[in-house]
């Protein structure tokens, strides 16, 4: 019954002079990418109206209603299992829709950097990728397990992979504008390539100390070492001995970089040990950004120019 109701509602919408696909975004930066591709043919709404840590949240009844009223929801891998929607209504970095086949990237290789030791040794001709002019990533055949990548919206390769899925999903719902979505995707690929080239050769005058490893993908993709991170999503990345060493050598770093969602009490145990200036960076995209590319650009400016 629910499927019939949604199909009827979609028919009524599209019978008017103008119809937009409604996409709910769990991370605003992901919504920026959808808007770049869909432009005036999509309406993007943020699930959360304030900066919310994607690892810790509870959906309200109103948010559940909003999810079910949208046509699609773009979901970060960190909390895809918390979104009570069928797979055909979810955009995610590893999702494959049986009706709209797309491929996913081997992004988990970015965590160890071993992608540099592999060759792009198999041909593929799906429409979403053939125009992206990027040669440093690979595709995997469809699998049902989740990849190990985190913070895919803070990644050049992550944005490329998501762009392919977004194009496929939007084209499935609105085939009349499929070519329009593909053309916009080409622009996204070109912007990402140019931005990556811009920062790839830029030297860092000094490293930073990071509270969280949100920027690890960007560092690897730019062949850079931004500095050590104290914590991962799920566990500490350093021992007590390593923390003591970092504290003793903190003059090697320029700032302690934290995210806008970092809780104050999480920093209290460090403030008395680490005397570095604290810099907050919006890693979720809640600011006033024109595009996903400009969002990444501003983050890298913060890291490189501090």
The region of weakest confidence among 45-49, 86-90, 130-134, 150-154 is 130-134
The region of weakest confidence among 74-88, 150-164, 190-204 is 74-88
The region of weakest confidence among 84-88, 134-138, 139-143, 202-206 is 139-143
Q: Tens digits of per-residue pLDDT, 255-264?
A: 999 988 777 7
Instruction: Tell me if 59 sits within 8 A of 212, measured CB to CB.
Output: no
Phi first, then psi, for residue 259 (nearest 5°) are -95, 155
Beta strands in 4-136 (DSSP E): 21-25, 42-46, 72-74, 90-91, 104-105
70 belongs to a structural domain: no
- d(CA 175, CA 228) in angstroms, rounded, equals 46
265 belongs to a structural domain: yes
Most confident of 45-54, 73-82, 116-125, 162-171: 162-171
Phi first, then psi, for residue 82 (nearest 5°) are -90, -5
Asked if the model's pLDDT at residue 103 lies above 80, the reply is no
* Span 13-20, average pLDDT: 54
Nearest Cα residue to 38 out of 222, 227, 230, 169: 169
Q: What contacts 188, CB < 8 A, 6 or more positions away?
A: 33, 36, 37, 159, 163, 292, 293
The reported pLDDT for the residue numbered 174 is 96
The region of weakest confidence among 1-10, 184-193, 279-288 is 1-10
The CATH number linked to 246 is 3.40.50.1980
Which one has a higher pLDDT value, 5 or 90?
A: 90
The reported pLDDT for the residue numbered 3 is 53
169 belongs to a structural domain: no
270 belongs to a structural domain: yes
At 40, the pLDDT band (50, 70, 90 cuts) reads: very high
What is this structure's pTM?
0.76
Which one has a higher pLDDT value, 19 or 180?
A: 180
178 belongs to a structural domain: no
- d(CA 244, CA 129) in angstroms, rounded, equals 46
Instruction: Tell me if 208 sits within 8 A of 303, measured CB to CB.
Output: yes
H helix count then E strand count, the chain: 9, 10
* Span 207-231, average pLDDT: 90
247 belongs to a structural domain: yes
The reported pLDDT for the residue numbered 236 is 60
* Span 289-300, average pLDDT: 95
User: Where do the H-state alpha helices sit in the chain?
Assistant: 2-14, 28-38, 61-69, 156-173, 178-200, 216-221, 240-248, 264-271, 292-305
Asked if the model's pLDDT at residue 99 lies above 60, the reply is no
User: Where do the H-state alpha helices sit in 24-102?
Assistant: 28-38, 61-69
At 120, the pLDDT band (50, 70, 90 cuts) reads: very low
245 belongs to a structural domain: yes
Domain ranges, residue 264 = 203-305
- d(CA 112, CA 162) in angstroms, rounded, equals 21
- d(CA 261, CA 251) in angstroms, rounded, equals 26
Asked if the model's pLDDT at residue 280 lies above 80, the reply is yes
At 235, the pLDDT band (50, 70, 90 cuts) reads: low
At 6, the pLDDT band (50, 70, 90 cuts) reads: low
Asked if the model's pLDDT at residue 87 lies above 50, the reply is yes
Give me the number of domains the chain comprises. Answer: 1
Which one has a higher pLDDT value, 163 or 148?
A: 163
Asked if the model's pLDDT at residue 15 lies above 50, the reply is no
């Amino acid at each position: 019954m629910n499927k019939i109701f949604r199909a009827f509602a979609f028919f009524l919408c599209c019978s008017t002079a103008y119809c937009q696909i409604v996409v709910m975004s769990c991370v605003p930066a992901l919504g920026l990418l959808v808007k770049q591709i869909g432009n005036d043919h999509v309406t993007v709404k943020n699930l959360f109206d304030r900066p919310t840590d994607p690892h810790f949240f509870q959906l309200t009844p109103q948010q559940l209603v909003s999810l079910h009223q949208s046509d699609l929801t773009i979901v970060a891998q960190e909390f895809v299992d918390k979104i009570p929607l069928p797979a055909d209504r979810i955009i995610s970095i590893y999702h494959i829709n049986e009706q709209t086949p797309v491929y996913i990237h081997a992004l988990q290789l970015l965590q160890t950097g071993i992608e540099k030791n592999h060759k792009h040794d198999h041909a593929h001709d799906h429409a979403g990728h053939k125009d992206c002019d990027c040669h440093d990533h690979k595709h995997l055949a469809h699998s049902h397990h989740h990849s190990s990548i985190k913070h895919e919206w803070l990644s050049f390769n992550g944005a490329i992979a998501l762009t392919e899925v977004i194009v496929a999903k939007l084209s499935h719902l609105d085939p009349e504008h499929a070519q329009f979505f593909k053309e916009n995707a080409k622009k996204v690929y070109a912007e990402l390539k140019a931005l990556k080239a811009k920062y790839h050769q830029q030297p860092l005058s000094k490293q930073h100390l990071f509270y969280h490893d949100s920027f690890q993908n960007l560092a690897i993709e730019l062949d850079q070492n931004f500095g050590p991170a104290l914590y991962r999503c799920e566990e500490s990345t350093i021992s007590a001995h390593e923390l003591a060493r970092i504290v003793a050598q903190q003059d090697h770093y320029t700032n302690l970089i934290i995210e806008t969602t970092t809780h104050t009490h999480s920093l209290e145990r460090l403030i008395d040990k680490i005397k570095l200036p604290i810099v907050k960076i919006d890693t979720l995209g809640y600011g006033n950004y024109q595009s996903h590319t400009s969002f990444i650009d501003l983050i890298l400016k913060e890291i490189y120019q501090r």
